Each structure stands twice: as C-alpha cells, then as structure tokens.
Amino acid sequence: MARISLQHVSKSFGGGHGPSAVKDFCLEIEDGELIVFVGPSGCGKSTTLRMIAGLEEATSGAILIGGRNVTHLPPKDRNVAMVFQNYALYPQKTVYDNMAFGLYVRGEDRKEIDRRVKAAAVSLDLEALLDRKPRQLSGGQMQRVALGRALVRDPDVFLLDEPLSNLDAKLRVKMREEIATLHARLGATMIFVTHDQVEAMTLGDRIVIMRDGVIQQAGKPLELYDRPANTFVAGFIGSPEMNLVNGQLVEDGERLAVRSGDLTLRIPENTFATQEKNVTLGIRPEHLVIADGSPLEMSVSLVEQIGAQTYLLGMIAGHKMRAVFERRDEIRSGDKVPIAFPTERLHLFSSAGGATLRKTEGRVAVHAKECA
C-alpha cells in the first residue's frame, strides 16, 4: 500500500510532438484511498492510468509510488496491478494459472502461491472455476478472475480501467459493491477509471474529473456535487444535468440578481465574487421546488415517471429547464406548475471560461491546484 504522487505529468503521443493527451496532471493520492478518474471519452483517463502502470512513458513530469520515483521504471518494477477493460486474461491458461502467473514470474514459493491463489478464489467465489479456461467463463466470472489476478499479487496500487463497462447493468451494480467491499477490506490504494458518474459517486473516496487531458476538479463526491468548480463539472456530475442559464448580474433593489430575459433571480449575499457582469446561473433539477403562489411557472412539455421521482421538462420564463420532484402523479404534459428557485441552492459561474464565482469560504480550494 502506498501514496501516489503525480507531479506535472504530461503525455503527448507521436514521439512527444503530437497533441497532448494529458496536460500538467497534478494529484496526491493518499495511502488506501480509492480515487476515481471520470470524464468523457478521450479525455485521457486511460493514458494517465497507463502512465502510472508504466505502460506509457510520461513525456514530462514525475510519478512517485510510495515515495519512490518510478517515472522511468518498466511496469514490472512498479509493483502495481492492473485490471483491463476487456480483462486480458491469458486464454491458454486456466483460471488458476491466470491468477498464479504474476507470482510465478516473481519467483514466489509454490506453496505460498497456492495459498494466495486459493484465498483469492475463496474471496471472489471462484473456487469451482479454477480449472476452467477463460473462454469457458461468463463476463462476470472473467471480471472476477481479472480482479483475482490483481488481488493475489498484493501490489502497492490497484489500477482498474473501466473494469465494469462490459457487464450488464445488474452485474455492474453487484461488481461495484464487491469492489467497494474489497477496497474496504484490503485498505489498498486504488485508482478506478470510469465514464459512469454513478460509479464515480458511489465508489470514490475522491473523484478526479478530466476533460481534454486536464483535471477539471478533484474532490470528494459531495464536494463536486455541492461546489462544482466550473460549468463542465456542474453538468457532468448529477443526473439529470444541472440547468444552466446565461445572464447578466444586475442590481435588484438592495440585492444582486441575475437577469436573463424574463427571468430575474436574486443570488445569496457574500457567496459569490461579483466583479464580472456576464455570468452563468446554475440550479440542479432536484433543487427546484413546487411553490404555490410563486410568480414563476413551468409549462411542462414532458413528464417522465421513474417510480420514486417525477422528471419534468419544460419552459420557465422562456428558458428550457428540467425539474425533479418526489413522485407527483397528477402532473400532465401541458400543465403549468408554479416553481421557486431556493436562493441558497444557486450556482454562479463566469460566462467566460465557466469557472465558478463561489468564494472559497476560507477552506482549501476545491480546485485541482494541488501542486505548489
């Protein structure tokens, strides 16, 4: 188990001259932490993970594992274990040998190998499958073998690159829980890559959101939810997406407000920096409330019942918005629903660049600037 330190790590393909896949990546991962890299396709999650594993060499920057500078070491000398998206099990070897291979290669004692493989097989419920070949396994079983292969090695770091994406929805949830349990039991440092925000929110001690090779924000799941660093994070975390409205900061009596067309909303005092005029206002669909007598109305164009909740899509003062409420059976498409915007739930971003205007409340920044 070990701390991982990524210092100004960059990667560009094509001999270091191509466009960069990862830019100035700085992150400190604590011992035993489960970190989730999340972001849209092509944002550099896998590349970052592969640089930590040693499968790609960083173009610049340094990678430390347990205080040891591993930037230029080959994968075998880093003591990391990796679970690949398509499992990458050795097709000619049995389940047992797949799990034992890494120990054989390292010249472990046969008895010790046997003990560790059996133990991993028990904890992953693979005992009955040890003599099978990978092609005789289901996707979920292959997934567990891949996990087992990592587990027996007792590595400093577990790296998991979208390990659940080939599984069906039910199995994903089950495996997600198994990984969480495993992490809790082992207390191992893990990095988990996904593009699924639910996986990210539920698994991660901390989440790192990336876009175009750049960290957008790194923080605890609820921090990201409550105080997104920019509009990208605001839109990425939370489902349905946060409603975003471009507007201007204006004086509304004593208080400051955001005006956009017919919509004028007061903003909380002393929460946001107010130098900029052009701003983006954000509010999560689940934070809108139905308030009888409110001057604002949503003319509903779509109602989605998903059981516990009711999703609405409609226009509020000329702006298309989504809203989520506790189950409301009576709302129909075409209805007008009185809506209120709780002031303390509002988010404010700069229109230029999309960075949050929230003042940092004396706390350490939510932002990704971890490197000095």
Ligand X SMILES: Nc1ncnc2c1ncn2[C@@H]1O[C@H](COP(=O)(O)OP(=O)(O)OP(=O)(O)O)[C@@H](O)[C@H]1O
42 binds, among another protein, ligand X, Mg ion, none (CB under 5 to 8 A by kind): ligand X
Report the run of H or E that residue 159 belongs to, with start and end. strand 157-161
The DSSP bridge pattern shows strands 157-161 and 80-83 to be parallel
Total of chain residues touching ligand X, rule CB under 6 A = 11
Q: How far is the CB of 41 from ligand X (least distance, A)?
A: 3
Supply the DSSP symbol for 170: H
88 binds, among Mg ion, ligand X, another protein, none (CB under 5 to 8 A by kind): another protein
**CA-CA distance, 184 to 171, in Å (whole number)?**
20
Residue 100 · residue 152 · CB < 8 Å: yes
Q: How far is the CB of 6 from ligand X (least distance, A)?
A: 14
Neighbours of 369 (CB within 10 A): 11
Of 17, 41, 67, 372, the one binding ligand X (CB under 6 A) is: 41
Report the run of H or E that residue 142 belongs to, with start and end. helix 139-151
- Of residues 46 and 216, the one with the C-beta less far from Mg ion: 46
Residue 37 · residue 50 · CB < 8 Å: no
**Nearest residue (beta carbon) to Mg ion:** 46
**CA-CA distance, 67 to 57, in Å (whole number)?**
18
Of 46, 123, 231, 280, the one binding Mg ion (CB under 5 A) is: 46
Of 23, 45, 172, 176, the one binding ligand X (CB under 6 A) is: 45
For the chain, the 3-state helix, strand and coil shares in percent, each to the nearest 5, are 25, 35, 40
Q: How far is the CB of 81 from Mg ion (least distance, A)?
A: 17
Q: How far is the CB of 57 from Mg ion (least distance, A)?
A: 18
First to last CA, the chain: 25
Residue 367, SS3 per DSSP? coil
Q: How far is the CB of 56 from ligand X (least distance, A)?
A: 8
Site of interaction with another protein (CB under 8 A)? 53-55, 74-76, 80-82, 84, 86, 88-92, 101-102, 105-106, 135-136, 149, 153
80 binds, among ligand X, Mg ion, another protein, none (CB under 5 to 8 A by kind): another protein
Residue 295 · residue 263 · CB < 8 Å: no
Residues lying near ligand X in the complex (CB under 6 A) are found at 13, 21, 39, 41-47, 195
Residues lying near Mg ion in the complex (CB under 5 A) are found at 46
